[in-house]
Amino acid sequence: MTQQTPLYGQHVALGARVVDFGGWDMPLHYGSQLDEHHIVRRAAGVFDVSHMRAVDVEGSDAVAFLGHLLANDVHRLQVPGKALYSCMLNEHGGVLDDLIVYYRGPGRYRVVVNAGTAAKDLAWIRRHAEPFSVRIAERDDLAMVAVQGPKARALTAGLWAAAHSAAALALEPFFATEWGGESGLFVGRTGYTGEDGFEVMLPAAEAVSFWQRLLAAGVLPCGLGARDTLRLEAGMNLYGNDMDETTTPLESGLGWTVALNTPRDFIGRAALEAQQRSGVPQRLVGLLLEERGILRSHQSVHSPAGEGHTTSGTYSPTLERSIALARVPAGTGAEVEVDIRGKRLRARVVRPPFVRHGKAMISL
Amino acid sequence: MSNNLPAELRYTKTHEWVRRNSDGTVTIGITDHAQHALGDIVFAETPESGRALAAGDACAVVESVKAASDVYSPLAGTVVAGNAALADAPEKINTDPYGEGWLWQLTPADVGAVDALLDAAGYQSVLAESEE
């Protein structure tokens, strides 16, 4: 039994190929995944991401609770609207989910979690919230769209009244603004594509009209297929592929999201510190295939340092080459071989991102 | 849904097509329905000339942005050539699946086996059943 977002009828009317993603009927593409990818790199595309779940965490203990729950440090959020990317860990340091937390004001935070993990996350959050004076509100009354691309902010802001438009256009990256209260709009200059843009949360009942106005303004609808190739080019991890409960952030290219500089006691900290002391055995790297073929997830990676595996792989429409993220032994050098259907093909180890703001970030 | 099914071709349940050439060889590709279902094709691997194939062998791979799919030989025989042009232009499989997007040419072990494959009407009913 799959769920549908408030925009499902729009996807069907646009002729989308609909697939089950994390229990939701979501558009894979509306005709050409490649065209949708290029539109986001060159102009503006919109993604329905209403399957993701916003969760409001409020109360006098909110900062203490989130400081305990999250591996990144919410105390860094001092200015209302500021956003922070973080992992939520189990006691073994394994990643339960990756999320964004927005600071909305004293004692008020909004967390956005992945669709496939939302139920598990909510149970975990509620359980760990018990000793704290906080209220946890699942905001399934909200829809969410991501408008991404070099023209995304201008086209989106053009739909709003002058004061709101100005506030949205004035946002620094990784900041949000909101207006209209709990049934209003929440706009963050965030995304998952490596391009500029907004992520907009709004009441579900207003989603269709907002979507239609975006399309009328010249923003093109884009599906989850393009979202995946865009995020991989941008070197952004996908939960469940590139990290999960069995891997730590340190093994997932996410060490930069773990705040160990203060004595804050967060879930998983002891395990991460133990792993640091004994040496992190593997790391997540980028791969660029040097021969013809397509890297996919779950291919074995070979080098003198030992064996690893790809966690995500694709054809990169921007680079016209195949790229991947791979988890390899810590001592892996600059060249590896990847097993594709029994053949060993050469790949170069590179540091993600592969693409940012429409441009190659690695030498080809 | 695409219903482009040339009447002169033969088909398989696994969405390959077969064209009989005048020189006794056959040309093989994937159907318009198959290319449409796969989406934008970005890579194709075709069998090498001289390779002996049994009917049903997974001998070619077509990869869209999203996923890799095996292509099965509809017939036993010996590969004459793979379509080398696909290395630089795999999108021909999308744009011209029955023409420039062909995958490989084969000398069938038994040319009569071609007639045992599905005709366009037979393949059409396979597609209709999978829709249900």
pLDDT surpassing 90 at residue B130: no
Q: Which CATH number fits domain A281-364: 2.40.30.110, 2.160.20.10, 3.10.20.30, 3.30.200.20?
A: 2.40.30.110
Residue A51: pLDDT band by 50, 70, 90 thresholds? Answer: very high
Question: Closest approach of chain B CAs to the CA of A125, in angstroms?
Answer: 34
Domain ranges of chain A: 8-48+140-232, 281-364
Query: Pick from A61, A51, A54: which is nearest to A110 by CA?
Result: A54
Q: Which two tokens stand for residue A265?
A: 């006691």
Dump pLDDT digits (tens) for A302-354: 999 999 999 999 999 999 999 999 999 999 999 999 999 999 999 999 999 99
Q: Which of A17, A322, A341 sits opposite B61 (nearest CB)?
A: A341
CATH number, domain B10-109: 2.40.50.100
Q: Which of B40, B43, B87 sits opposite A294 (nearest CB)?
A: B43
What is the number of other CB atoms lying within 10 angstroms of the CB of residue A167?
A: 16
CB within 8 Å: A293 and B40: no
Cα B105 from Cα B91, distance rounded (Å): 19
Q: Do domains A8-48+140-232 and A281-364 have the same CATH topology?
A: no
A73: CB partners within 8 A, 6+ apart: A67, A84, A259, A261, A262, A264
CB within 8 Å: B68 and A294: yes
Alpha helices in chain B (DSSP H): 32-38, 92-95, 120-131
Task: Please report which helix (H) or strand (E) contains residue B68, including its range.
Answer: strand B68-72
Peptide bond just before A353 cis, omega within 30 deg: yes
Question: Closest approach of chain B CAs to the CA of A60, in angstroms?
Answer: 46
Contacts with A294 from chain B: Cβ below 8 Å: 42-43, 63, 68
Q: Give pTM, 2 decimals.
A: 0.95
CATH number, domain A8-48+140-232: 3.30.1360.120
Residue B1: pLDDT band by 50, 70, 90 thresholds? Answer: very low
Tell how strand A220-221 and strand A45-48 pair up: parallel
Cα A200 from Cα A198, distance rounded (Å): 6
Q: What is the mean pLDDT of residues B10-38?
A: 96
Using an 8 Å CB-CB cutoff, list residues of chain B that contact chain A. 39-40, 42-43, 45, 61, 63-68, 87
Search chain A and give the residue with CA nearest B36.
Answer: A31
Contacts with B45 from chain A: Cβ below 8 Å: 293
pLDDT surpassing 70 at residue B59: yes
Cα A133 from Cα A169, distance rounded (Å): 36
Q: Is the CB of residue A319 less than 8 Å away from at least one CB of chain B?
A: no
A345: phi then psi, degrees, rounded to nearest 5: -110, 145
Contacts with A225 from chain B: Cβ below 8 Å: 39, 65-66
Q: Is the CB of residue A323 less than 8 Å away from at least one CB of chain B?
A: no
ipTM: 0.87
